[in-house]
Every structure is written in C-alpha cells, then in structure tokens.
Amino acid sequence: MSKVEIKHLTKIFGKRPKAALKMVKQNKSKNEIVEKTGSTVGVYDINMSIEEGEIFVIMGLSGSGKSTLIRLLNRLIEPTDGQLFIDGQEITNLTKKQMLSIRRKKMSMVFQNFGLFPHRTLLENTEFGLEIQGVPKAQRRQRAEQALDNAQLLSFKDQYPNQLSGGMQQRVGLARALTNDPDILLMDEAFSALDPLVRGQMQDELLDLQANVQKTIIFITHDLNEALRIGDHIAIMKDGQLQQVGTGEEILTNPANDYVKTFVGDVDRTKVLTADSIMIPALTSNISVDGPTVALRKMSAEEVSGVVAVNRHRQFVGYLSSEAAVSARREKLPLADVVVEMPTVKPDTLISDIMPIIYDAQTPVAIIDDDNRLRGVIIRGAVLKALADTEGDSDDNA
C-alpha cells in the first residue's frame, strides 16, 4: 500500500471553478482561463502514489503548481475536487480538528524561510511543536535534544537563531519538524535560500538523515540537479498539470513529452546516469568448472580476446585473457592460477566517476553488486557514447 495516494486532485482559485475546469479540459492556457473566468488553475487532475520511506521530489518552474500541491496534501489549501489518502485513509473528508491532529502528529512541514522564533533558543524552537501538543516539559526536552543531536546542533541548543548561519538555521527547522516523529515530512523549497555550498551540504545531510530515520519525504524544488541528487522519484509539473513521474534516470533517458525533454536538456548526464544504464551482458567463464579449452572456445565463438571469470555462484573473480588461457592449457594450470585483476564498480556508480577508471584500464570494467555477483561489464565505447550523447544534447540546446 502506498503511503500517500493522490486521485484526480484539483484546485481552482476564484469564483468560477466550473467554467475554469471546462476550459482546462479544452486545453486552454492558464492566461486564457484567467482572462475569461477570473479563476486561476492551481493544480488539475493530479494522480500519483508516494511510497513509504522514499524521497519524492515535486518540481517545476514558478507557477507550475508545485507549492499549491504540497499545501493540498496537508489541506492548508482545500481542494476543489479529488481525493487524498494517507495509509489508505481518505483525509479529504476529515474535519478541521481531525486535520489539525494529523498535521501535529503525522506530518510536519519545513519552509524555505526556516520559520524559527527569534526570541526562542534553538532548544525552545525545536520543542515548540511538542509544547503546543501538551507534552510534559521533561519529555519534550528529551526529544528535542535528541533531534538537535541528530542534526549535530546539540552544543548550540542555548543560542538564538540570529547567532547561526543560514544552513544551521535550516538544520534547526528540520530538527523541529522531526521532533514530532512524523511519518511524512513536507519540504517546500527548503534549501532554496541557501548559498550553493551550504545547499549541497544540506542535501547530503538530508540523505544521511533519511538513511537513519526512513521518513516519507515530499520535497518541492525548482532545481533539477537538486531533484536528481536526492529524489527516489521525481514528478515534473507545468501549468498545474503533471507531465511525468519517474526515477531520475527514467526522466532523463525517456522524457514523456517535448516539455520534459527541454526541461532536462541542460543536465550533464554523465553526472546523473549510472553504470547499470550503460553496462552490457558479460561473457563469462565459470572457472570452478571450465578448463582452458572451454574458455578459449567461448572466446572464439564470440570473437573476443577475454572473458570475465566467475565462480559457480556467479560471483566475480577477475579477468581471463585468451593469452592466459593458452598459457594455462600449455602449462596444464587451472584457470584460477592465470586470472588477473579487473577494475570493478557498483551499479549506482556515476558515469563521470567511471571515466577515469576506464581510461587507464586494460580490460572492461566489471559491474558487481553488494554480494560480489557479476551484473555486467562496461566497455570504453559505451562511456564515449554517453559523452557524445551529452555533447549532442548540448548542441541541440544551443
């Protein structure tokens, strides 16, 4: 079951929502709809599922509806139509009191402007949500201190927000949101106000934090590089409508339409695409069973000068060249004695990180998983093709 399920969610701002909806269905532009009806399309007919424990990024340019959508999820903005479900429970029909309880206990929000109280210390800011819930002082202090400790800010607990850098203030905002131990964390352009260096550090800290706490995080951004860096799935919006949902690699390699293709066109794909996107099946020799003659026959049949050596469990051993196999046959040696080392990477290694490895390599590069099992190989030509595709995209966008 999905953690969050969104069905046909629509929000029209203005007094003539029905007329505006009719024009949306006729594919009229947002400007035309405003001129004719005086109503603005916030979001229209959004359908998507968000899985438990993932970072789900919603992105788009200014006016795309992404910030409206995240406020619809906790009903800070009431939908015009559609349904919202959390853990299978519909929340679009809950009372304001019931929604208040959900916002306090089940979901928290982190804003771009940090939202810290200047007259409260970091500790007092962090425990504020628990305070308004009536949690006893000793208990809320303990939980707030734990959240600050997780954010590596416990030693600053008695300082005030104006004594901290922007990055540290945002970490306090994140710690405060997590103090309630919410299932869902909503982050609206949370890092946009930070300078690039601090922003990158915050992205890393969010990923580290997520590895420990495993919350469902819904993250709004207009920055594609940020989305690709942190997102398990990415939704791209335009004029209040959903254009595509997928992994970063799916969106880059198979854009749903011309808008998405243009939107992702300036990304350096070598810094996003990974080893498993360009690997090819490996010709292997099971050296627990094969002798030199069998290995050489495989090479001859496929017209190659070497194979990847594996054991009977298909675990990676090394590289076996034709010269080594000939030598083993002549000297009556087992293949294990003539296998040599071969560079390896994990499936999620970026192409940009593979380039210096394969540049110096005398063999292909083996892709192995966490159990040392062979997934495939990368040859120099595949990396060069990825580079050529990136350069071609840049030329197309020039």
Q: How many CA atoms lie within 13 A of 356 on its CB side?
A: 2
Q: Output the pTM of the full model.
A: 0.68
Q: Where are the domains of the chain?
A: 276-386
Cα separations (Å) of 14 from 19, 41, 48, 81, 117? 10, 9, 25, 14, 33
Which helix or strand (DSSP H or E) is residue 10 part of?
strand 4-13
318-341 pLDDT per residue, tens: 999 999 999 999 999 999 999 999
Residue with the two structure tokens 């026959």: 297
CA angle 386, 389, 395 (to 5 degrees): 145
Tell me, what's the pLDDT at 397? 47
Compute mean pLDDT per 10 residues along the chain, 398 residues long, and list them: 90 87 82 87 92 93 89 92 92 90 84 76 87 85 85 85 82 79 86 74 80 88 86 92 91 89 74 78 90 92 91 91 94 93 90 83 90 88 64 48
Q: What is the largest CA-CA distance in the chain?
A: 89
Single out the residue of 393, 392, 361, 396 nearest to residue 379, CA to CA. Answer: 361
Fold of 276-386: CBS-domain (3.10.580)
Q: What is the DSSP letter of 214?
A: -
Tell me, what's the pLDDT at 398? 41
**Gap between the Cα atoms of 207 and 192, Å rounded:** 17
Q: In the structure encoding, which two tokens stand for residue 99, read together? A: 């929604």
Residue with the two structure tokens 């000939």: 326
Contact 54, 70 (CB under 8 A): no
Q: In the structure encoding, which two tokens stand for residue 48, read together? A: 């998507």
CA angle 150, 154, 160 (to 5 degrees): 125
Cβ contacts of 396 within 8 Å, gap of 6 or more: 265
**Gap between the Cα atoms of 345 and 362, Å rounded:** 15
Beta partners for residue 10, in sequence order: 81
